[in-house]
Structure 1
């Protein structure tokens, strides 16, 4: 018997500086992407007011961003393989900045519904492409570090979201024009991302042909485990995205809060997400993916139910915090599971992202139309209704036999 050969990186003290720098760069990119997206979500009530939209029409408008993201995700894996993660992140963030600025100008200056829709499409397209590239880079860094770290990258995204929500609440309270607010944030996001992406791992030389890359992507679409993980990520993305899109509006409509308070409630949700993703790495390394996901999904379902049915503002906000805490790990754990085998990671992450982001495509109009019938707040009860059956999918996130794990050596004979 030969000695066990670990499939992971050396201990932290031996990790090259390039890997540590890449870890920091990936975390910064995640945080700035969260800042960009949350900046938009925090001003949704103001945009609705500026354009005079009903819940149903707002849901259709939000569909523009989701459509851009889903369209981008269908090719983002191939783009990342061809250009490398760093270049893909840089180019896609240019589009994010253009879209965010366009949304602000169209809503706050021109009052143009089509202009906002175009800006949201660009924002979604850039964000969707960036999402795959930064997750692929994050998985590569995680493998070289030899321990679970992907949830902390997503925690960085949530921290960026908290900052975006806080800035948005302050801007709404101070009456800062939507156009000025979003244009300044777009410039910050773009400049910071371009600098952070320079620290990514060196691009690996590849002799794969375009046909080989396309074949790998098509093969990933035929893998049952990949598709089931994608379905799990879809429901978890819906649980997260429904709060992103509708939580501020739901509290304004259902609990009679101000727009600024609605933005604060959204900040409570992303704070819960951040805490869950920061602490979740310890829980995942200690107990494994399956029991941790079971517990957090149940917590999310309970929290969302309390947030809607509490009848009391403070109790509802406590439910929002539990909702965010419980919804925190599904998406990053799904991405880690997709990247268990690094050579197939771009194709599988792309497939799972496409499936998962279908929630962002279908969710806004579905909840908007439901909100027209039962009210925006009560429409959010769809979240726990979908989460509970999702527990049956959790076992598919177990690492495949033969070396999916990040920290456990594989015995070889």
Structure 2
């Protein structure tokens, strides 16, 4: 029988809102470049595999961030590191805007992916430490707020892409939001400890098996979410026959499910054990995938994507919470490991699906999704049972 935990409070102070807004700015970038990939592919006239190299470039940047992050955190502290990540993310994004040249767009995806990961994982480690027992709920709510922004960005991109402005104009939201945030809240940060010694690397001994298992679960969850972010619109267009620009609205349905699920998950994470909640979220993700995968009607595809987003909404924040718990509460150790696991997932997932799509079609390639869901659920169940 599931045990209901004693509720804890989530207090949203100014440092909390700073991190929430940093993650919102990150979301304008992530969901913007994700929704733009099919349109960029059309402009460049490349194959699905070549287009998938943009996801690989983001992944390589993310992995590099995992190795650099402990040094930056130790030398500069979390506050400066987060703003460096924000600045570098914008620099990479501005490389994508000027032209369709493949080397430049790949470089832009790589640079922005690396620095955005520095921002993301530094902010999430700080948020988890700042809220203690309410950390998982804070992580869920922070991602929920970011996803609402991401939903607006994907919808705006699909609309603006069909005007004379073109889809690239939407990506300018990120640098504008970054400047405004720096001017308004540049001096705010959670008080107290800014970093573990050495970003967790100075802690004696090796992390236990639960830490590595949690990392593999995070790998599956990130691979799954990025697969949907980068290729769901492509499958939507192929299965329903609507245009690529209009199909980008399908990602809006997925992101809407993410937003609703993460807001609801904030309350659930304050009251329920995390492992059963995680498994239930994975089951809902599978149900949504099945509806979307079988559908050939736009309305039913929207429903499937929304359900899938609803389930996937808790996968990333709960996987991060499990990784932090597996590190013995050393959030910077988890923050340094997270980009490596996530970057590997970003490299393998979308590129593998792109290659499978070229060989067998996007519909059959999307069978990779339930495999990832099953592996993640198995990891959660094993970790919970062994505990």
Q: TM-score, normalised by structure 1?
A: 0.84
Task: Select 2:310's aligned residue among 325, 341, 364.
Answer: 325
**3-state DSSP of counterpart to 2:309:** helix
Distance 1:205 1:149, change over 3 A: closer
The alignment covers a number of residue pairs equal to: 380
Counterpart of 2:124 in structure 1 is: 135
Distance 1:393 1:203, change over 3 A: same
Given that residues 285 and 310 in structure 2 are in contact (C-alpha distance below 8 angstroms), is that contact kept between their aligned partners in structure 1? yes
Q: 1:306 deviation in Å? A: 1.7
**Aligned-CA RMSD value:** 2.7
Distance 1:48 1:191, change over 3 A: same
Given that residues 89 and 197 in structure 1 are in contact (C-alpha distance below 8 angstroms), is that contact kept between their aligned partners in structure 2? no
Distance 1:226 1:87, change over 3 A: same
Greater shift after overlay, 390-399 or 27-36?
A: 390-399
C-alpha offsets along residues 35-69 of structure 1, whole Å, 9 cap, x if unaligned? 11111112212211110011111112331122111
* CA distance in structure 2 between the aligned counterparts of 1:332 and 1:197, rounded to whole angstroms: 25
Counterpart of 1:187 in structure 2 is: 175
Counterpart of 1:406 in structure 2 is: none
* CA distance in structure 1 between the aligned counterparts of 2:56 and 2:135, rounded to whole angstroms: 39
Counterpart of 2:233 in structure 1 is: 248
Distance 1:384 1:193, change over 3 A: farther
Question: 1:174-323 residue pairs with structure 2 within 5 A?
Answer: 174-182=163-171, 184-194=172-182, 195-196=184-185, 198-202=187-191, 204=193, 208=197, 213-216=200-203, 219=205, 222-323=207-308
* CA distance in structure 2 between the aligned counterparts of 1:59 and 1:321, rounded to whole angstroms: 24
Given that residues 217 and 375 in structure 2 are in contact (C-alpha distance below 8 angstroms), is that contact kept between their aligned partners in structure 1? no
Question: 1:301-380 residue pairs with structure 2 within 5 A?
Answer: 301-340=286-325, 344-380=330-366
Counterpart of 1:54 in structure 2 is: 47
Given that residues 92 and 110 in structure 2 are in contact (C-alpha distance below 8 angstroms), is that contact kept between their aligned partners in structure 1? yes
Distance 1:145 1:88, change over 3 A: same
In the alignment, structure 1 residue 166 sits paired with structure 2 residue 159: no
Counterpart of 2:3 in structure 1 is: none
Q: 1:395 deviation in Å? A: 4.0
* CA distance in structure 2 between the aligned counterparts of 1:207 and 1:69, rounded to whole angstroms: 21
**3-state DSSP of counterpart to 1:174:** coil
Counterpart of 2:376 in structure 1 is: 390
* CA distance in structure 2 between the aligned counterparts of 1:396 and 1:77, rounded to whole angstroms: 29
**3-state DSSP of counterpart to 2:289:** helix
- Rg (Cα) greater in structure: 1
Point out where structure 1 has 5 or more consecutive residues left out of the alignment.
Answer: 1-7, 402-413
Given that residues 24 and 146 in structure 2 are in contact (C-alpha distance below 8 angstroms), is that contact kept between their aligned partners in structure 1? yes
C-alpha offsets along residues 311-353 of structure 1, whole Å, 9 cap, x if unaligned? 2222122111111111111211122233347861101232133
**3-state DSSP of counterpart to 1:358:** helix
Q: TM-score, normalised by structure 2?
A: 0.90
* CA distance in structure 1 between the aligned counterparts of 2:39 and 2:164, rounded to whole angstroms: 10
